[in-house]
Chain A
């Protein structure tokens, strides 16, 4: 830790209060909703706070969810750190999940490693493509990547759903789902009967790797500089065009990876809407973790806990709506707000101030 550059530390310290306030606010809102919205507040609260720890199944599923969030959250911050915004994570995860499932279903006899690698590569490629083109358009014509990535994602989600419930549907199942992938492609389960699997370990390795790439390599340095001040990066001879398109592609690729693991590790099939919301949650996770690869680990855990708690609360009471979006909303409102009172008010910045 002594070697860790202060570049990441100094701004983080200053932001700690905002993060804590945002999380507390989200918790408070959740509790209020449970108390006033549930016919049995005591049970709902109990389920919310203790549910994720009540048995191996819930606990494992929470950790599994954290793993997927961690990967996708790293994806969100890959773009953020370069100063671009991938708002299409939800669709990228969803279609990548379907692609991974299709690859596995197309090769039922293939050896495990071959099929898994191929599925992962295909899923990552799809994610990279979808987000990468938005970065490319931004670079070529200045098209706002925030809007294009969202629109492209929103445009494909219905088509993915159509494929799952239509041509690719498993007619034997009551669920709207594809066939289950062959045994050999399913990642090792770590805590049966829960969904927890090898993907979590992979995710936990990915975060320090991302940290290393970001803080200890020239390209990571260039990416961060570009994200903080494009004019300065250009002045320093950094190819800012590349750092617009490539981080978007990386971001999409990581979202794709997350989608693939949702199939290979968690669900073993592509189910209608099975990852919907994960992309938005990942944005919240990246923001809670201040886009710092290592801090995204606890951020993913905290968020997965809140989500699992909300799910438990809904299962245990007649509470039947999604808390997820509201938790996200509260976090999004609070996380970048300046809670402390504004200090010296400056209308004017830059050159003429010191003159």
Chain B
């Protein structure tokens, strides 16, 4: 079950780490869901066509990046409402993939790619002697390790480089960066592109692991990732923990399904339900912590 949790959390972690860049630059990227979907579709297509998983992952990243570029063009260049354009990205992905799929394969349903190589598992057979640690650390899909690698990478990029310093300053106090002669808009744009690339990777990780493309394969992971950014206190380590928590809850629920005989259809909504409960709990606890907040809301 822990093993499963780690596999489930991986795309969430990938997307959330990328989304963190956008978030810290001051953009709530609600387009993550669509970006993941684009990455999943492009990833498996390129992977199957080339027979290479690496090419598949790169294609996923590219697709996410390109769609994010469209997103920034409208939201930043044309100064359109960022939420509405974020929705547009989600709809564009959900609407154009069936179109392309029909055009290429004659179906908008499930796409199977039998020739696609299987995602390799790393560190198989390695054991520490403790079952819990083994299932946490060893024998996972290669994408799991990629996601883990990106945690320290994000940490360094955000907190140890000039780039990260400026990016965080853009989100926290834009003027402080502008007066220092830095193009704040460019940083915000780059941050959204990074989140697009990461979400694309997340999507490719999903579809390449399954070896099939299903309609709505992202299944809300973009939204979960968005919530994970908050639950993780907008910090890579916190996001890792939050993503693990989501993965664990979901795999636990999956296991409970068998025992409680919950219909499979209902379970499709479960990730969303878990996420919304987590989000509300988090904000309630946080609000209690801030009870002594200075600017009271008049609610009479």
Contacts and interface: CB of A to CB of B under 8 A. Distances in A.
Interface string B269-295: 110110110011001101100000000
Contacts of A261: none
B227 interface: yes
Contacts of A322: 95, 98
A166 B287 contact: no
Contacts of B299: 139, 239-242
Nearest to B100: A321
Contacts of B108: 320-321
Contacts of A239: 298-300
A347 B178 contact: yes
B99 interface: yes
A228 interface: no
A150 B220 CA distance: 10
Given A239-B299, A335-B84, A37 B79 contact: no
Given A141-B286, A143-B280, A348-B175, A33 B220 contact: no
A108 to B, nearest CB: 27
Interface string B50-85: 000000000000000000001000100011110111
A223 B276 CA distance: 27
A326 B99 contact: yes
A73 to B, nearest CB: 15
Contacts of B94: 325
Interface stretch (B123-131, B163-171, B190-198, B259-267): B259-267
Interface stretch (A111-119, A153-161, A263-271): A153-161
A37 B103 contact: yes
A336 B85 contact: yes
A159 B264 CA distance: 10
A217 B84 CA distance: 29
A37 B178 CA distance: 46
A280 interface: yes
Nearest to B219: A154
B21 interface: no
A137 B283 contact: yes
Interface residues of A, number: 58
A143 B84 contact: no
A143 B79 contact: no
A162 B79 contact: no
Nearest to B298: A234
Instruction: Please tell me the size bucket of the interface on B.
Output: 35 or more
A338 B266 contact: no
Contact of B284 (A87, A141, A156): A141
A237 B297 CA distance: 11
Given A234-B297, A337-B79, A348-B175, A151 B279 contact: yes
Given A324-B95, A326-B96, A237 B266 contact: no
B280 A148 contact: yes
Interface string A27-44: 000000100010000000
Nearest to B263: A162
A154 B276 CA distance: 10
A159 to B, nearest CB: 5
Nearest to A352: B175
A321 B80 CA distance: 28
Interface in A123-178: 137, 139-144, 146-148, 150-152, 154-159, 161-162, 165-166
A339 B73 CA distance: 12
B199 interface: no
A147 B279 contact: yes
Nearest to A245: B299
Nearest to A165: B265
Contacts of B284: 137, 140-141, 143
Contacts of B74: 333-334, 337
Contact of A158 (B89, B266, B280): B266
Contacts of B226: 147
Given A154-B223, A326-B91, A240 B297 contact: yes
B163 to A, nearest CB: 21
17 contacts: A147-B276, A151-B227, A151-B273, A155-B272, A158-B266, A159-B266, A161-B265, A283-B87, A322-B98, A326-B91, A326-B95, A328-B88, A333-B85, A337-B78, A337-B79, A337-B80, A347-B175
Interface of B: 30, 70, 74, 78-81, 83-85, 87-89, 91-92, 94-96, 98-99, 102-103, 108, 175, 178, 220, 223, 226-227, 263, 265-270, 272-273, 275-276, 279-280, 283-284, 286-287, 297-300
Given A143-B284, A155-B272, 8 more contacts: A141-B280, A141-B287, A147-B30, A155-B270, A332-B85, A332-B88, A337-B74, A338-B78
Q: What are the 3 A-B residue pairs with the smallest beta carbon separation, nearest first?
A: A325-B95, A241-B299, A332-B88
